[in-house]
Amino acid sequence: MGCTASTPVMDTTDTDYYEKQQNNEVEKMLLQHHQQDKNRVKMLLLGAGESGKSTVLKQMRVLHKGGFTLQERVQYGHIIWADTVSSMQKLIIKGRELGVRLDCDDASNRELFAEKQKVLDYKALDDIDPLAAGGANFLRDYVLKYTQDDRARHKIMNSGNEPNGANGGWENPDGSRYEGNESEDEMMRGLLEDVAPTGEQSKKYTKTEIAAAIQKLWKDDSGVYACFSKSNHFHLEGSAPYFFEKAHLFAQDDYVCTDEDILKGRIKTVGITETNFNIDNTKFKILDAGGQRSERKKWIHCFDDITCVVFVAAVSEYDETLMEDDRFNRMHESIMLFDSLCNYKKFLNKPFILFLNKVDLMKDKVRRSPVRKYFPDYNGKTNDVEDALKYFENLFLSINRSNRPIYVHRTCATDTQSMKFVLTAVTDMVIQESLKKSGLF
C-alpha cells in the first residue's frame, strides 16, 4: 500500500478560518507597503528657519509636478500683498528707530510725505481675506511678524502654544493637542484687536493707490533705500524689493500669482510636510521640516529610514539675527545645527548634501557688509563673494567628523533654471547610491 502525503484539510465552516485568512491578507499588505517604502527614497530637507527649504521643495514641484494649484496662487496673492504693505511700513518705522533720515518725513517734501501717510494709515488686513490667506496660521504669523504692538507679540510669545497642523490646532506644553476652535478664534480675535484696523482709515485708499505710494517711496526716497541696506538689524522679508517692484500687480484683486511670485513668497512651515514624486522611475518622498527653533522638536519623528539629508544654509544671513531671538547670529545657528545633524549617528552612513543657499543675496551683501565684522577669523578679501563663499564652505566642511563626503552645492533656490541642474544632479546621485545599497547596481 502506497503512502500519500496528507494535506491538512481546512474546515471552511470554521469562523476562525476566515479570520485567519483576513489576518494573512492584512499582513501581506503591510509587508508590501513596508517593501515599497523601503524602495522609496526618503529625503529630508533640514536647516534653520527661512534658509530656503520650502523653496527647494517648490522647485521640485515645478520640475516634477507641474507647479502650483489655483488655490495656492490665490493664497500667495493675499500673503504677498500683506507682506508688501507691511514691509514698507516696517522700513519707515525702522528707519526712524535707526536714525536714518527719510525724505518722506520731511514735510516740505509734500508728495513723499503724503505717500508715506497713506502707507502708514493703510491696514492690509482690511483688504484681504484672511481665510484664503491661510486662516489662523496666517493671522498669527502676521501679528508676530509685523505688529509694532509689544502687547500683541508678548501675548502670543507667552501663550505657551504654537499652532500646528493644517487646521491650526495647537500643541499644548505637555505634548497633547488642542484642536478646538472656539477659544482659538477668541484668542485670535483678541490678538487682532491689538493690531486690527478700525476699518474707516483703510477705506480711504484703494489698493492701487497704496501700491503706487509704495513704489514711489521705494524709488524716490533715498532714506527708505538706506534703511533697506540696514535691514540686517531687523527682520524684513528677503523678497521685499521684488514685492515693491510688482506692487501694482499684487494690488489687483484678480491677480493670479506666477511661479516666480510663489517662489519669492514665504509661508513659514509648521510641522513637517510630505510630498511624493516619481523621478526616473524612483519614488521620492520629500519631507520638509519647519526650521524655526520651536519647530525642531518635531524633527526627531521623521529621522527613521531616511535615505539622505539635504541641509539648507542661507549664506547671505551671516550678518543677520534670528527672527525668534535677535541675540543670535543666523549663521552661527545654522553651523551649530549642521554640526549636530551631520554628525548624528543615524545619518552617519547616509548621503549628506549641503546647499549654500541665497548666493544671489550674498553677492549684494558682501559689498556693503564686511564678513570679518561678524566672523573675525575671515581672512579673505573684503567684498569678494568667491572668498566669502569658500570661507563658509570650509567652515561647514570642517565640522564633519565622519568619513563620508559632504556634497556641496551653491544655490539660488528661487532660480528655476539653475535649480534644475542642481536638483537633477542631487536626485541622480541619490538614486545611484540607493541602487548600490540595494545591490541592484
Ligand X SMILES: Nc1nc2c(ncn2[C@@H]2O[C@H](COP(=O)(O)OP(=O)(O)OP(=O)(O)O)[C@@H](O)[C@H]2O)c(=O)[nH]1
Binding site for ligand X (CB under 6 A): 47, 49-55, 238-239, 263-264, 266, 268-269, 290-292, 357-358, 360-361, 412-414
Interface residue with Mg ion among 41, 51, 54, 138 (CB under 5 A) is 54
Q: How many CB atoms lie within 10 A of CB 54?
A: 22
Nearby residues of 77 by Cβ (< 8 Å), 6 or more positions away: 250, 255, 256, 257, 261
Strand extents, DSSP E, 26-161: 41-46
Closest by CA position to 90, among listed 73, 75, 102: 102
CB of 276 to Mg ion, least distance (A): 18
CB of 291 to Mg ion, least distance (A): 6
Q: Alpha helix (H) ranges present in 98-206?
A: 110-121, 135-146, 150-157, 182-195
CB of 262 to ligand X, least distance (A): 9
412 binds, among Mg ion, ligand X, none (CB under 5 to 8 A by kind): ligand X
Identity of the residue, 113 or 407, whose beta carbon is nearer to ligand X in the bound complex: 407
**Which of the 8 DSSP states describes residue 172?**
-
Residue 275's beta-bridge partner residues?
A: 286
Identity of the residue, 384 or 415, whose beta carbon is nearer to Mg ion in the bound complex: 415
239 binds, among ligand X, Mg ion, none (CB under 5 to 8 A by kind): ligand X
Identity of the residue, 385 or 412, whose beta carbon is nearer to ligand X in the bound complex: 412
Comparing every residue's Cβ against ligand X, the nearest one is 291
Identity of the residue, 56 or 104, whose beta carbon is nearer to ligand X in the bound complex: 56
CB of 361 to ligand X, least distance (A): 5
User: What is the Rg, in whole angstroms, of the alpha carbon atoms belonging to the chain?
Assistant: 26
CA-to-CA separations, 3 to 6, 7, 387, in angstroms, rounded = 9, 13, 86
Strand extents, DSSP E, 149-294: 162-164, 169-171, 177-178, 272-279, 282-289
Q: What would the grid cell of residue 46 be?
A: 533640514
Residue 133 near residue 79, CB atoms below 8 Å? yes
Letters for 294-333 (x = contact with Mg ion by CB under 5 A, - = none) are ----------------------------------------
Identity of the residue, 366 or 431, whose beta carbon is nearer to ligand X in the bound complex: 366
Identity of the residue, 147 or 357, whose beta carbon is nearer to ligand X in the bound complex: 357
Q: How many CB atoms lie within 10 A of CB 411?
A: 27
Stretches 51-59, 122-130, 216-224, 297-305: which one binds Mg ion (CB under 5 A)? Answer: 51-59
Identity of the residue, 46 or 152, whose beta carbon is nearer to Mg ion in the bound complex: 46
CB of 8 to ligand X, least distance (A): 58
User: Mutual orientation of helices 70-97 and 222-229 as an angle, nearest 10°?
Assistant: 100
134 binds, among ligand X, Mg ion, none (CB under 5 to 8 A by kind): none
Note whether 202 binds Mg ion by CB under 5 A.
Answer: no
CB of 270 to ligand X, least distance (A): 8
Nearby residues of 295 by Cβ (< 8 Å), 6 or more positions away: 49, 269, 270, 271, 289
Identity of the residue, 147 or 411, whose beta carbon is nearer to ligand X in the bound complex: 411
CB of 291 to ligand X, least distance (A): 3
Residue type, 396: F
**Which of the 8 DSSP states describes residue 262?**
H
CB of 275 to ligand X, least distance (A): 13
Pick out residues in 252-291 that bind Mg ion (CB under 5 A).
269
Q: Where along the sequence are the contacts to Mg ion (CB under 5 A)? A: 53-54, 269
